[in-house]
Amino acid sequence: MKAYARGALDPRWTTHHTSVPASFMLATIKVIRKRPSTEVTAPVYNPNTQTWSTGSFQTILSNTPARVQPYGIIGDMVVGQDTSGRRLMRVQIESLDTGIHPDDILIVTACQTNPELTAFTFEVRSAIGSSNSWTTDLVCEADVKAAT
């Protein structure tokens, strides 16, 4: 081994690059959780106030910067007589200790680069970090044929 040998990456690489993922977070999201109830109503968007009614929901995160990108296609599923197109999406957030659980609901509240994202409700399927713990990756499922 050479006297000045080291790994391919500088040991300070992780520290120096933590701001890189944050620069791609161009959307703002809100995460809500269904409260236990016998009658749960879906959130309703009010375009006049640009807010969501969440009477039977608990807010987990609010006004959180995020990166939203396609992750995979589940494909068309036939439910009854309706064909429902489902799409997996990866949502990255900077928060590492999120408290987000599977079945939580993620809503894109703003995205200047792609305002169409605000029309969908995303269901969280998993929340997982990485070995370079800069972000939490949320794998979400969206019904691309039913805008909220």
Residue 4: inside a domain: no
Residue 104: inside a domain: yes
pTM value > 0.75: no
pLDDT in tens, 54-99: 567 778 888 999 999 988 666 555 555 555 577 889 999 987 777 8
Question: Whole domain around residue 83: which residue ranges?
Answer: 24-37+44-143
Residue 91: inside a domain: yes
Spell out a b/e string for 90-121, using b for 16 or more CB atoms within 10 Å of the CB, else e.
Answer: ebbbbeeebebeeebbbbbbebeeeeebbebb
For position 124, which CATH number holds? Answer: 2.40.10
Residue 15: inside a domain: no
Give the chain's domain count.
1
**Banded model confidence at residue 117, pLDDT cuts 50, 70, 90:** very high
Q: Are 83 and 135 in contact (CB under 8 A)?
A: no
CA gap 4, 11 in Å, rounded: 14
What six digits make up the tokens of 138? 């949320």
Angle among Cα 90, 46, 65 to the nearest 5 degrees reads: 30
